[in-house]
Structure 1
């Protein structure tokens, strides 16, 4: 249930490949994460009728966030079916007898998970991988392998990663996020410590330079600095990601020359400064950044890549709680951002309700320098940009909601421009 989600969709596909008879449902079938070959097994909407012949119900947390009394889940429990979140299903069923490599952290975990997966693949280790983003090298967010190795992105939200007991864990960094769940930064840090304490005996914990955690069940390897590689991806933060991925690969005995070659050819993951297209001389990119730190790092990298171009950013805040709690940080990030124009569209509510505590208009008014503009809708933002941009300009959309739809719409409108 909620099978179109970034993680749930990968679990759905891997379970199918491992011999489970799977069906799924979601409110729509348009998710970019859904494997096209499995869409025929997906129903639209939630209905107790979907439970026919089912034994296990694995669901996305988004389902219960939208509807805590979801009738399909209520009926499943009444019938005595096994009902559990998709990540717990993965831990109980798909990770059985596997050598688990889990990658966690506030920023960069999708990229590092993908890097590790591709490193193992190119080294002939043939891993199974579950990533919370589409890996460009694979064209999807998962990989099915025949070896004992399973590489998985370990999400801290709602403490999901505590379901895993890794043999190797990597923690990229720890910064406060998900205020809709964690009480404060101390609560988040305590949860990461619990994750580190769940490592298996004789395990390896690899941490970024700012992470002060120790593996009490084995070895701790602190990665002191960024890599120095000719990456296809921009930004110093990706050099840090590469250094952590390389450390994981070295623990598995992969040669340094192989690591360098693979990482320098690695194409990245979708929605990480992803080039979407060019029309009328305007370059359009899309990025997943939705936290103030990720926004700052990404926009600095964009300016380094395009030092002399006009850069326009369209940002869709994700969640009211995140926007409110990190409001001052968002203001600082955008005020200091080396860009020419910032457009803010309405907050993407996701699993939350709008209680009028904060808005994109509030954020727009707080950004210093007069370069921020509020436009409520994606369509309105596209219309505005068509009039605003000219040959040589760069547009980048940012956010974790449905703003990924905007680049295509903008390119369509630019194509139709006289």
Structure 2
């Protein structure tokens, strides 16, 4: 499919999602006339509407106009009235991931995969290329603060995108450069086991052409194993380089220390030789690794090293990635997308490193019943750097509760620190407004709508 959509019309079923909205933005810029529907109006749908898309609230057969293509999310059910109408009329219907793959086919794709860190790493890469004047096309899973959007159509040859492993979506992509941040047990409702997850990543990396490049985190044992037996894993890419903290990584981060920006300074070593010293304003060792991956990509593309250094130093992050929402009554409020035990540990470690001995109060909204059930033992031990934990009701997303699990079960499973169950977001916000005191740090964690608690608590504390 040519990127030029002049005279063509596309309809999105579920246009309000972060990934669908990104594709819609780029296709509008490519000349497509865009329409779309979503169950609930949102800031994203409002922005798309203001940019020329026709937005429908709710799903109905009549929303599907005279279009050339229908794009759906993986969450759209077979009986969705718009999908039924599209099938009845014989319209081409493709999933979001396939559409992303078509957009990438017209460009030199840089795809960032991994269980954690995709949004920040892809945002860092995007901003480095943007700062170097390469004008990349960008589609990421969160709003880049420095860009003010989650997507843009660039005039340059490169496209930076997240490669989502859920539903094997990333197997629709054929990137020239693939970055793998880590491989862990996730989406086990779909893959069944960690081995299934690893196999999906192997197949994704096998899609990188022989003249392409793979950049993987060598600290991750599963990434390291794929790199060690590239040929045995049918990986064609001539170069599979590693980055990380370990001495055996081609790109190594050393001498990591806190800085006055609230982030970290570190030295990047390449092939055993000092390459550069970087300064970050975003906290945590996990973000040092994300930045190192971006530096490795930039080096491979010949980006001016001074541009890379300056961009990393001024990068303000992505929305809902350790986003400091504000401060009121002496309480600092931070919101983060963390919804997997590893992400929660990393976020709490970053908070502890940034805020020292201040009391950390964490409100967590589990995301999906399947993840909560299958990773319950890991969730029970991942909050240990917090001082107080509140668990609110599970955000169901695409699921119904067939797993026999609840947030109360998770709260009971957490032995350290003290954890309690408060189901409703509104009630959790009221309790926090009453209990938080000057010097506390509140962290709202989860991939659902938990960020509304951060907003409500700040509003309440401001009125104290």
Fold shared, TM-score > 0.5 on shorter chain: yes
Which whole-Å CA distance do the structure 1 matches of 2:66 and 2:283 have between them?
49
Q: Which residue of 2 aligns with 1:249?
A: 298
Distance 1:401 1:161, change over 3 A: same
Residue 343 of structure 1: which of 360, 369, 390 is its match? 390
Which whole-Å CA distance do the structure 2 matches of 1:369 and 1:99 have between them?
47
Q: Which residue of 2 aligns with 1:62?
A: 75
Which deviates more, 103-112 or 205-214? 205-214
TM-score (norm 1): 0.95
Secondary structure of 1:63 counterpart: coil
Runs of at least 4 residues of structure 1 off by over 3 A?
A: 31-34
More strand by share: 2
Segments of structure 2 that go 5 or more residues without pairing to the other structure are 1-12, 246-251, 254-265, 267-277
Q: Which residue of 1 aligns with 2:19?
A: 7
2:284 maps to 1:235: yes
Q: Which residue of 2 aligns with 1:185?
A: 194
Q: Which residue of 2 aligns with 1:53?
A: 66
Contact kept, 8 Å, 2:104 with 2:174, in 1: the verdict is no
Which whole-Å CA distance do the structure 2 matches of 1:223 and 1:273 have between them?
23
Residue 327 of structure 2: which of 278, 294, 305 is its match? 278
Q: Which residue of 1 aligns with 2:215?
A: 206
Write the deviation string for residues 60-104 of structure 1: whole angstroms up to 9, x where unpaired: 12222xxx3111101101111000112212222x22321111110
1:51 Cα offset (Å): 1.4
Distance 1:46 1:39, change over 3 A: farther
Distance 1:309 1:104, change over 3 A: same
2:24 maps to 1:29: no
2:168 maps to 1:159: yes
Which whole-Å CA distance do the structure 2 matches of 1:388 and 1:135 have between them?
33
1:264 Cα offset (Å): 1.2
1:33 Cα offset (Å): 7.2
Which whole-Å CA distance do the structure 2 matches of 1:283 and 1:204 have between them?
41
Q: Which residue of 2 aligns with 1:365?
A: 412
Which whole-Å CA distance do the structure 2 matches of 1:31 and 1:159 have between them?
28
Secondary structure of 1:206 counterpart: strand
Which whole-Å CA distance do the structure 1 matches of 2:74 and 2:206 have between them?
24
Which whole-Å CA distance do the structure 2 matches of 1:308 and 1:127 have between them?
42
2:231 maps to 1:219: no
C-alpha RMSD over aligned residues:
1.4
Which whole-Å CA distance do the structure 1 matches of 2:217 and 2:424 have between them?
38
2:340 maps to 1:308: no
Q: Which residue of 2 aligns with 1:19?
A: 31
Secondary structure of 1:223 counterpart: strand
Which whole-Å CA distance do the structure 2 matches of 1:195 and 1:355 have between them?
30
Write the deviation string for residues 235-266 of structure 1: whole angstroms up to 9, x where unpaired: 00000011111111111011322211111111
Which whole-Å CA distance do the structure 1 matches of 2:402 and 2:106 have between them?
46
Distance 1:221 1:277, change over 3 A: same
Secondary structure of 1:338 counterpart: coil
2:55 maps to 1:42: yes
Distance 1:370 1:262, change over 3 A: closer
Which whole-Å CA distance do the structure 2 matches of 1:242 and 1:96 have between them?
26
Q: Which has the higher contact order (CA 8 A, sep 6+)?
A: 1
Contact kept, 8 Å, 1:126 with 1:145, in 2: the verdict is yes
Which whole-Å CA distance do the structure 1 matches of 2:402 and 2:158 have between them?
45
Q: Which residue of 1 aligns with 2:9?
A: none
Contact kept, 8 Å, 1:5 with 1:31, in 2: the verdict is no
Contact kept, 8 Å, 1:3 with 1:34, in 2: the verdict is no
Write the deviation string for residues 92-119 of structure 1: whole angstroms up to 9, x where unpaired: 2x22321111110001011111111001
Segments of structure 1 that go 5 or more residues without pairing to the other structure are none
Distance 1:346 1:13, change over 3 A: same
Contact kept, 8 Å, 1:55 with 1:81, in 2: the verdict is yes
Q: Which residue of 2 aligns with 1:399?
A: 446
Secondary structure of 2:189 counterpart: coil
Secondary structure of 1:103 counterpart: strand
Task: Provide the aligned length of Structure 1 versus Structure 2.
Answer: 411
1:32 Cα offset (Å): 4.5
Contact kept, 8 Å, 1:128 with 1:145, in 2: the verdict is yes
Q: Which residue of 1 aligns with 2:270?
A: none
2:156 maps to 1:147: yes
1:31 Cα offset (Å): 4.4
Contact kept, 8 Å, 1:135 with 1:270, in 2: the verdict is yes
Contact kept, 8 Å, 2:370 with 2:403, in 1: the verdict is no
Which whole-Å CA distance do the structure 2 matches of 1:386 and 1:375 have between them?
14
Q: Which residue of 2 aligns with 1:171?
A: 180
Write the deviation string for residues 128-165 of structure 1: whole angstroms up to 9, x where unpaired: 01001111111111122101111111000001110011
2:376 maps to 1:327: yes
TM-score (norm 2): 0.86
Which deviates more, 369-378 or 395-404? 369-378
2:121 maps to 1:74: no
